[in-house]
Amino acid sequence: MDKTAYGMRMQDLAGVERPTVAEIVEALALVGECLAEDAKAAGDGFAVVCEAATKARDLAAAVACAGFHAKHVRELPAVTADQIRELVRRSAVSTDDKLFVDAVGLGSATTEAIAKRLGVLLALKPGVYVISQSWGFGQVREIDSFYGKVIIDFDGKKGHAMSLSVAGQSLDVAGEEHLLTRWKRDPEAIRALAEKDPAEIVRLALRSFGPMPIQRLQERLETIGIVAPGKWKAFWEPARRGLKADKKQPVEIPAKRTDPLRLLDAEEDFGAAWLRVFAKTRDIKAILDGVTALLQENGGTLPDSYRDTVRDRLAFALKGADRTDYPRYAQVALLLRDIGLSTPEERAKQVERLTEKEYEDDRLDHLDHAVKGLSARDVTSLIRFILEVAPDKKAQILAHVERFASVALGATLDALVGDDDATALVQKLLRRKGSPVPTLVVWAFRHYPLAADPDEAPARAKKTAKAKAALDKPAAKDWPLPPLNELITQAVHIVEHRHTGEALRMRNALQAFFDNPTWLRRACAMLTPFERQVLFERVQASASGDWDAASRRNVLVRMARDFPELAQFRRSERLPQERQHLTSERSLAAYRLAYDHLINVEIPANAKDIATARSYGDLRENAEYQFARDHQRVLLGRQDEMDRTLKALKPTAFEGVPCETVAPGTKVTLRAADGQTLAYTILGELDRDETLGIISSRSRLADLLIGKAVGAQVELPAERGVRAATITAIEPPDAAVRAWLAEIPTEYKPAND
């Protein structure tokens, strides 16, 4: 760009008495262009723009500066986050602006959070469409400035009142071009577009929701109603052809279905101008993407005229990712190796960094962090790279088998196929009694070769060829797996116990195997009659609350149907009925708000704490980092628990509950042996209020009372042993409890408030 013209434009802006928002946005665009060529001049220019935004006295201008700062924070050291916060504070002139600024938590929020939250709040006007992670798609009805709330008509709940602080954190604005907005306004036009130009529907979905795998795209379009169930293939094939043919609006279509579709910029011209801009690039991801695109353009080879510039930028990226972003560090190291720009000594140093332990007495090392952000292909390449450079690291890699997530585990085993030590370890872990490794058992299930189903009709077999191919997937070469009955026993042990995090996902994957009739039939066919009987009785005897009764019952029914001789082992008594998980609308709403706060506030804040702690240096002596990581494990465990609870719970008003016996939704009065009268109202699983005598249906006291009639003798828990009492009355909840139930919270409050 013309530096003289740039400097003059900044001078002109500094002289404007009260710039408009449009002028501020235009100037920020010029600063962005300057960043690629002269970071110092860009930083000086950004300072000028921020000063001009202060004079503009317009919150939208300050938000634009905050968003620019968040995007280029590393390249703009001359302007601090505190200065951006002060700019935002001084730009809030109107009452509504001040209300919005107070709602975003200006004192502690990052510039990225400030820009995002204020951008949402400024866009909230009556008629605007929004998306909530918890409530779905909705339309703003009004802004209540007096109470600091926004009233939204969601598809599932009309007139929902949401505090501005929650709205700024949890809502996304669906603009006029958003797919959901266009669908809401004119569904027939979107259906016609899907018929005429399915590729444009895909681009519209990616612009609206961001990058996503093909399966997720299918789920979204089918859920909205744009693609009818069962019609995906007829939609996707012409869409894929259209996307590949259109070079003006390119979309990256990955080879793997699990990788995301992405919108790309127009086709790049890798000439001298591109090289000049690339030479100034400071963003690590942009550097990696640029080199990857350059290699693709040149058939995988790096032109000699580009080598020095590419080496310089990759060295910069490697240094920038060192000790702060291990997945990127690994990607840069692999790329340097693949294009021949690193020496053996440099590769040895990179491997040492990637396998360095965080603490002398801790099993965690940098490899744990690296693989979490890599694709399966990159993990496989990384493991082979480490073993190629430092074969003595094999024992350290094998120590990760138990704790790697599913993708990293599979990729690691792909890299270690045929290794005797790895084979012995896999065998040992798969046969370990009492504490199986969920990720490894799932891996074994996915690779176990099942015999073809002899009862499957030829026509059906042809129709389900793709599904059969997945079931018939051969075991990984040179991976001798234990007998199928041993693996199934391990799987049952996992399914019937509670888990969190990755183990919970693996438990759900194993239950999906048992819930698949075809897999279950073919797996049982490979067992001996005695092994089938043992499995049948094992499933029947499982009393775990985590493997729900309906699923276990279906497994037993299918096994008895496919192998009639098992019916004789069916217990005569009925299987226990699945217990309903009920709670009040009040408590469920509060729980949802707490879940929103966890997802949108606590977990992102913890991620920021981890990133900040990483910047302090050596992780082996970094107590802040260790504390933040420990807290992350607690938060993710709580997320899994709350997610499972929300899926299971159903709201109820507790109306019309019979009062013949004590049950959830009744008030029970008792007279203790000492003459004292006690009263409790039993409601749902999340309901409790000590002052009103409301107790949860899951409490120990409720368990003692439920099912009892008037006159029944009970022993209540007391400070010293038990306390005898007699039930004297069973009634509906009183007026105070009914009033309590009617108070639906609209904003998050900590549990100790």
| 7 and 42 co-located in one domain | yes
pTM > 0.75: yes or no: no
Q: Domain containing 680 — which CATH number?
A: 3.10.50.30
| 402 and 319 co-located in one domain | yes
The three-class DSSP label of residue 621 is helix
In a domain? residue 526: yes
| 31 and 107 co-located in one domain | yes
| 199 and 108 co-located in one domain | no
Locus of tokens 């073993």: 387
**pLDDT tens across 125-176, in order?**
999 999 887 788 899 999 888 778 899 998 878 888 888 888 888 888 998 8
In a domain? residue 133: no
pLDDT at residue 467, as a whole number: 43
In a domain? residue 347: yes
| 400 and 283 co-located in one domain | yes
pLDDT at residue 368, as a whole number: 86
| 253 and 289 co-located in one domain | no
Mean pLDDT of 56-77: 89
Mean pLDDT of 111-132: 91
pLDDT band at 1 (very low <50, low <70, confident <90, very high): low
Mean of all residue pLDDT scores within the chain: 85
| 503 and 618 co-located in one domain | no
In a domain? residue 385: yes
CB of 550 closer than 8 Å to CB of 654? no
**One-letter amino acid for residue 70 of the chain:** A
Q: Domain containing 608 — which CATH number?
A: 1.10.287.180
pLDDT for 100 beyond 70? yes
| 435 and 536 co-located in one domain | yes
- What is the domain extent for residue 222? 179-263
Q: Of 510, 531, 565, which marks where a domain is finished? A: 565
Q: Are strands 260-263 and 650-652 parallel, antiparallel or unpaired?
A: unpaired
Q: DSSP label at 343?
A: -
pLDDT for 212 beyond 60? yes
List the one residue out of 29, 16, 103 whose CA is nearest residue 64. 29
In a domain? residue 507: yes
| 510 and 477 co-located in one domain | yes
In a domain? residue 318: yes
CA 441, CA 119: separation in Å to the nearest integer? 46
Q: Of 416, 440, 455, which marks where a domain is finished? A: 416
| 519 and 631 co-located in one domain | no
CB of 332 closer than 8 Å to CB of 385? no
In a domain? residue 752: no
| 302 and 410 co-located in one domain | yes
pLDDT at residue 344, as a whole number: 94
pLDDT band at 450 (very low <50, low <70, confident <90, very high): confident
Q: How far are the Cα atoms of 212, 573, 611 from residue 490, in angstroms, in the given order?
A: 34, 27, 38
Share of the chain above pLDDT 90, in %: 39
Q: How far are the Cα atoms of 25, 107, 571 from residue 79, in angstroms, in the given order?
A: 17, 17, 73
Provide the domain count of the chain: 6
In a domain? residue 132: no
Q: Of 99, 123, 147, which marks where a domain is finished? A: 123
**pLDDT tens across 359-401, in order?**
655 566 888 888 888 888 888 999 999 999 999 999 999 988 8
pLDDT at residue 472, as a whole number: 42
| 539 and 446 co-located in one domain | yes
pLDDT for 276 beyond 80? yes
CA 366, CA 352: separation in Å to the nearest integer? 10
